[in-house]
Amino acid sequence: MSIFSSYLKLSSQYRWMLSAAFIFNLGFYMLIPFLAGYLKQDLLLSATLVGIVLGVRSFCQQGLFLVGGLLADLYGAKPLIVIGCLLRAIGFCLFLFADVIPVLFLAAFLTGFAGALFTPAAQAYFAKQEMLSRAQMFSLVGVARNGGELLGPVCGLLLLNVGFDILCAAAALPFLLFTIVFCVLLPSASKVKSAKPVSSTGEKSNIKTMVSGVLGNRAFLKFSAIMMGYFMLINQISFAIPIHIVNQAGAQQDVAWVLTLCAIISIFLQFPVTRICERWLTPQHWISIGIALMGLSFATLIPNWPFQTGLLYYVPLSVLAVVFTVGTMVSFPFIMSQISDLANNKSVATHYGFFYLFAGIGLIAGSSIVGFAFDLADISEQLAWYCLMATGLVTAVLHTLLMHKHVEQEDSQLTNPSTH
């Protein structure tokens, strides 16, 4: 089954949801990468203030994923998806008034909070479909998001040449349209299944039940903690590689080359790779193999390559991009589907919200460790790459060893339903 036939096999609701996943990344990468430059160069804001604004946006998204997950389990996926689209549209429009500092911070908050509301609800919604395997569904989600990530900066650059106000309006318009579409299209009954029926004590008891259910899910917490290593690696293409290129007196187009190559490979190969992986080995194996490949990909930068210009200069970066992207392709869909499996169809959105808290810690830890390794370049210029390789290998080994027992228990339950 090709990616197109699989896409057409989905109901119209899920096809629209995939379109929304594409639009969310398209709008984000259309505006956000150029926001810092606009605030610093055009509005003449201090670098400190710009950093705080971008930090507020990131914190409101990463830090509030749990809130979005809880609300999705309480009130259903539809209202959270609709509100998330609406808030993202409002937030992007408010950047038109970025010269007013309180409005600028409000825009940053709404933009981040919109992602916190939309993402856990959307992930739980995707996990519910039964037309494709969960891994194939999240593979399609990955293709949609990578498409938006690839085209977003191109569209943003073209619109920025016309005017920043046009860019803000163009980035906000699709979110406003999807707000209307989802109000009409998504059925009100499409709720993420909660842990158990709401008790007579009311909403607070329900929240307590959902949170305690997640905190009592030791297999899920163990998996989330291990996957922090995955997120320590996933951000390095846009963090460690640009720093390396700058240190090597490279150009910005070198960074764009790596990002574009990663996105193109994912768009065209993600779905067929996932289908091949499903035929061989288990999801647990592919998660470990993928993370190990992500870490090992940085070994291509350890040798002191003699060529600094020309086509041969791009060989190590290209090999890194290919190996790293293959690692993400064989691991990402199974990681996302594993969260739903571990949730056992109870408070799925809340589980995704908790998972993204661990992801945020992993992102911060990865950037901090790699940044510190670069600062110690006088000790070893390759220290950052050794750290990333070790992160990938250790994470893969821990996942294989610590999640093996859970997989055996899950398999025994599937073969002996009476043990449920």
* Residue pLDDT, tens place only, 115-125: 899 888 888 88
Neighbours of 289 (CB within 10 A): 18
Which two structure tokens, joined as six digits, stand for 104? 């600028």
Instruction: Compute φ and ψ for 193, nearest 5 degrees.
Output: -65, 130
pLDDT of amino acid 61:
81
Q: What is the pLDDT of residues 21-59, one digit of tens each?
A: 888 888 888 888 788 778 887 888 887 788 788 778 877
pLDDT beneath 70: ranges in the chain: 1, 188-205, 250-253, 306-310, 404-420
Q: Indicate the pTM of the whole model.
A: 0.78
pLDDT of amino acid 210:
84
Query: What domains, with CATH codes, occur in the chain?
Result: 1-192 (1.20.1250.20), 216-409 (1.20.1250.20)
pLDDT of amino acid 417:
39
Geometric angle at alpha carbon 252, from 250 and 256, rounded to 5°: 115
pLDDT of amino acid 94:
95
